[in-house]
Structure 1
Amino acid sequence: MNAGFRDDLSVLANFDTAEDMKITPLVPLGCALAILLTSGCTARRQPSPEHLGEPWNSLRSLGDSVHAAADVGEKARAAGGDRENADGGRYLSEILIQQVGRGVFRDPDYPVFRPQFPESAHTGLVNPDNLYESTHIRPGADYVLRGTRGTTADVTFQVFAGTPGVNGKLRDVGTLSLDNLALDADGNFEVFVGPTAHPQNWIETDDEAGLLLVRWTYSDWASEKAGRVEIHQVGKLGVPAPNPDVGDVARKIREAGAAVPDSAAFWQAYIGKVRLFTSDNAVMKPRLTGSEGLAGQVAAVGKFSLANDEALVVSVPRADARYQGLQLGNYWFDALEWANRQTSLTGGQSHLGSDGRYDYVISATDPGVPNWLDSTGLSEGLFFLRFQGVRTPLTDEEAPTAQLVKLGDVRSILPADTPEIDAAGRRAQLATRQQQLQRRYGR
């Protein structure tokens, strides 16, 4: 301890009365010590009347929002046994993380792209083949994005009004696809987002635009690499950001909290429609994604309902497209664990049969074929097909099909030259998947 400081404390210890200390009895000991050491004591600052109790009251309201979201989850049709409830707990926790992260820390005047990481990227049946990067923008403001193309199978820039998964708010404002992305000779781009017109690479925004999303879509996880992108609002480069405002912080906390049960209810309503209009162990005809998804994407959804000794064989054509993939999901409309289980495959990862189709086998038990999709023990769930950059539309004859079979009969309906994968081969396949994802997110 500093000798001078020790002496100050010894002097203080010898004072018997407030009069000896030359201060009133109402002054705390800590303040008296500060007087001795710094010759002054600053009173605690007081909040302004209009912000009294903030942001603490808004933070407390988060508890009410989580309680409301838990009520949604507990009453959901997806809830039930321990496994379903475990998935539901992760589902609601992920929504909470997303809404607070996006809502409280957004700054549309000083935007930065934030990636969505595998451990908390499942809600809304996110595509495991996408590296998502998003940021908030301000309606009426202009932005410039600069970056490199990379080598992924596809890349898209999309502006939304609203927030994904929040009732009645999500709408596609504008999309710039790879087909229309102008690049220089080195693969660099400059994209313009806002109301001010530009001759190329321009996404026009309206007075409700609020979210900018970039999707880097992988087909071959081993060889492809995402590009890089940075963003700034026109007129803000070199300008210091203002200090946080307590009223603004409190408002963002409350809005983020309110969005948690709202988002939870949204996805349950959405999956309710899917369950209503889709038959078990069948797949719907591919169609264009609506305004709440990726513009120009063709997608098809199906359901599986399996006994322990059953498998669903989903046969998919090799499309004339930049990208195609299939993934599994649960009835929370969450993607199944995709970083450490093989619950999705792209065309680039899949074995193409001698009949020119990809035959995927959905089951809880490994059937020993390359295109196995691990149901992770779920007896019921979803599968979702995506096609991006489709050059030639699929015909009715080429449409995906689904066939329920006994697990022991799987090979009898696959092409005879379908390879076998033993336990060691499957472990190596999964290890490669895990390593490739580490490299993707450790760019």
Structure 2
Amino acid sequence: MQHSSQPAQPPHRPRAEHALLAPLVGLVLAALFVGCSFGRAPIEEARSASPESGIEVHPVIASEPPALTEGWTGFLQGLERARRNLEDPSAYPPEPTDRNLAEGYRYLLGHLARIIEAETEGHPDFPYFRRSVSMMAKWTIENPDTMYLSATIDAAGTYRIRGQALDTTGWRTSEPGVGYPRAPRVVIFQTTTAVVGQTGRLEEMAECRNQTLDALDQFLLEIDDDGRFEILVAAERPEGYAGNFLATRAELPCRNAGGGITIQAREATQLNVREIFSDWDAEMPLDLEIVRLDKRGESRPPRTPEEMGRHLDEIGRRLANQIVFWNLLHEFGLEVRGDRDDDGRTAFPMNALNPPAPPFIAGGTAGAGQLYAAGSFELAEDEALVVRVAAPAEPHYIGFQLGNLWGEGPDQANYVSSLTGTQNPVASDGARWYVVSARDPGTAGWVDTTGLPKGTIGMRFIYRDPPAAGDMPTIETFRVRTDEVRTVLPTDTPSVTPDARRQQVHARQLHIQRRWRQY
């Protein structure tokens, strides 16, 4: 039953370069769980277009600010570099199948949309929570159960977050199914130093560029009887202040290339929020606001040509860098296309998952307090990967997710392409069972590949208290034909009819509209 086709291998980096990249693999894994020249000629050509088009044509303005012209040129050059990074083998993109290319171009546009907002609207004096991941802008091998928010901050500033949650009984007890409607299962606030991938270099993961300074989750968050809370965000906790607090400055450890640890003074530039939903039918997003206390009521200055020119150039640069960074991560960090550092194994095992492990916090900005397990799949249309997950200590949250080779979760609204612990309860043998396949096996636990023949698998575990060594989750995998999955599953695994599956998808569609407030 083994599927033995081998995809074409992209060009290897030289062995010496492998040796330099090898120390990064562990950091990358832990951190996850993270041109053509355009001048004035085309612009003038467009502006001199025939008036028969019905478009009013204006001549080039001789006094047009050079900063805007230069910024626009840089933006277009970055856009073209990003496009080439989708297809050029030297940038290590996925295999150029029709689906990979179609998704790749939409993936590029998603990056562009979020980078435009972050670059032009993100301001540390006038913060707000923008959606750093959305249904349009998916990246970082994101968790489809999560709403990711981010605000731009200045480490020298003092900020106040105010929020309100619905029923939070589950935060205090970890009991499932308590209260309706209720708060997200997990909420994590983090101050972080930088956005992953901005340099376009995989080596940034070893340079401790992207680090978490401080974090606060639902277990520690102080709230009143109505679910209201405040969080003070500043460089230092004020004397006598005992409320919720996040630091924007900290001395952090960093593992250097030689394996030693150095301590560095770091400052936050971002405040990130994760709202993680387990019961999609009952859990609702938080209401949140953020303000810089010494800037309340002030007006943001109008943009200047110089400022906008810098934004345009930076958008193009970041776009191209993000595309190539995640290509390199999949190729050399995760090794989804085979052993790239010649150590006889792949970082993401094929049709299997690594054992759950915590992130190395100095290596990146992965969700604080989470355990991760990850691997990859490659399945024929009539094959399934059955995954058995036994967790002797029940996690507060558990999620099972897929990803395409660009690092995006498949459409979680219109497919059952992920499952939470609530959506896939423990079976009669004390474990959770998942069936990863393109065809519906007609059983509980199906995770739809959405037709992807190859992709990544991720699992996230969050505990109230760290589990003992003997209580860590264990994972087994079985590769079988889709019509043979019941030979592996517990005999009492429920069947799911086509009509019940449509109802399952419909409930997901409604939740995604509520979560992202797609009114």
Normalising by structure 2, report the TM-score.
0.73
Could you say which residue in structure 1 is the equivalent of 2:400?
326
Superposed displacement of residue 54, structure 1: 2.5
Deviations 1:376-424 (A, max 9, x none): 1111111100012342526377412211111121011111111111211
Q: Which of 226, 231, 243 matches 1:200?
A: 243
Structure 1: any 5+ residue segments left out of the alignment?
A: 1-43
Gaps of 5+ in 2: 1-60, 167-182, 250-265, 336-345
Q: Distance in 1 between matches of 2:156 and 2:300?
A: 19
In structure 2, the partner of 1:158 is 190
Aligned counterpart, 1:234: 293
Tell me which residue corresponds to 1:247.
306
Equivalent in 392, 405, 423 of residue 498 of structure 2: 423
| Change beyond 3 A, Cα 1:304–1:67 | same
Pair 1:277-2:347 in alignment: yes
Counterpart code for 2:329: Y
For the residue of structure 1 that corresponds to 2:118, the secondary structure is: helix
**Where do 1:427-438 residues align within 5 Å?**
427-438=502-513
1:388 and 2:462 aligned: yes
For 2:157, the equivalent position in structure 1 comes to: 141
Q: Which runs of 4+ in 1 moved over 3 A?
A: 44-47, 394-398
Whole-angstrom distance in 1 between the partners of 2:453 and 2:497: 24
- Work out whether 1:65 is the aligned partner of 2:78: yes
Find the aligned partners of 1:193 and 1:46 in 2 and give their Cα distance.
Answer: 44
What are the within-5 Å matches in structure 2 for residues 388-407 of structure 1?
Answer: 388-393=462-467, 395=470, 398-407=473-482
SS at match of 2:286: strand
1:271-320 per-position Cα deviation (integer Å, ceiling 9, x unaligned): 22212322211110111123331121101001111122210011123453
1:324: Cα distance to partner? 0.9
Check if 1:375 corresponds to 2:449: yes
Secondary structure in structure 2 of the residue aligned to 1:215 = strand
Determine the structure 2 residue equivalent to 1:55. 68
1:258-273 aligned at under 5 Å gives the runs 258-272=317-331, 273=333
State the one-letter code of the partner of 1:102.
A
Q: Check the 8 A contact 1:73/1:79 in 2, yes or no.
A: no
Alpha carbons of structure 1 residues 102 and 79: separation in structure 2 relative to 1, 3 Å? farther
Match of 2:416 in 1: 342
TM-score (norm 1): 0.85
Task: Determine the structure 2 residue equivalent to 1:97.
Answer: 113
Secondary structure in structure 2 of the residue aligned to 1:417: coil
Q: What do you get for the CA RMSD once the two structures are aligned?
A: 2.0
CA drift of 1:170 comes to: 2.1
Report the equivalent of 1:9: none
Of 174, 180, 194 in structure 1, the residue corresponding to residue 214 of structure 2 is 174
Paired letter, 2:352: A
CA contact (8 A) 1:162 1:208 kept: no
User: Does the CA contact (< 8 Å) of 1:125 and 1:333 recur in 2?
Assistant: yes
- Given that 1:312 and 1:363 are in contact with CA atoms closer than 8 Å, whether structure 2 keeps it comes out as yes
Q: Aligned partner of 1:136: which letter?
A: T
1:111 is displaced (CA, Å) by: 0.6
User: Is the contact made by 1:79 and 1:88 (CA closer than 8 Å) also made in structure 2?
Assistant: no
2:378 is aligned to: 305
The count of residues paired between Structure 1 and Structure 2 equals 396
Q: Distance in 1 between matches of 2:418 and 2:427?
A: 18
The yes-or-no answer on 1:286 pairing with 2:356 is yes
Report what 2:284 is aligned to. Answer: 225
Determine the C-alpha separation between the residues in 1 that align with 2:215 and 2:107. Answer: 28
Q: Deviations over 1:85-118 (max 9, x none)?
A: 1121122221121212211221110111123564
- The one-letter amino acid of 1:61's match is G
Query: Are the aligned partners of 1:117 and 1:441 in contact in 2 as well (CA < 8 Å)?
Result: no
Alpha-carbon separation, structure 1, partners of 2:323 and 2:271: 22
Letter in 1 for 2:477: A
Q: Distance in 2 between matches of 1:388 and 1:86?
A: 34
Q: Residue type matched to 2:114 in 1?
A: Q
List per-residue Cα deviations over 1:188-217 (Å, max 9, x = no partner): 111011213143311111263111111111
Structure 1's 390 and 280: CA in aligned 2 closer, same or farther, altered over 3 A?
farther
Residues 209-228 of structure 1, C-alpha deviation per residue, up to 9 Å, x if partnerless? 11111111111010111221
User: Offset at 1:351?
Assistant: 3.6
Larger deviation, residues 77-86 vs 105-114: 77-86
Tell me if structure 1 keeps the 8 A contact 2:210–2:365.
Answer: yes
| TM-superposition CA deviations, 1:321-379 (whole Å, max 9, x none) | 22110111111111112121111110011142101111000011100012111111111
Letter paired with 2:334: V
CA displacement, residues 215-252 of structure 1 (integer Å, 9 cap, x when unaligned): 11111010111221101102111222222232222212
Q: Is the contact made by 1:197 and 1:204 (CA closer than 8 Å) also made in structure 2?
A: yes
**Which residue is 2:269 aligned to?**
210
Shift in alpha-carbon separation, 1:390–1:299, aligned structure 2, 3 A = farther
Q: Deviations over 1:5-43 (max 9, x none)?
A: xxxxxxxxxxxxxxxxxxxxxxxxxxxxxxxxxxxxxxx
CA 1:105–1:416 in structure 2 vs 1: closer, same or farther (change >3 Å)? same
Higher relative contact order (CA 8 A, sep 6+): 2
Contact 1:321–1:392 (8 Å) recurs in 2: no
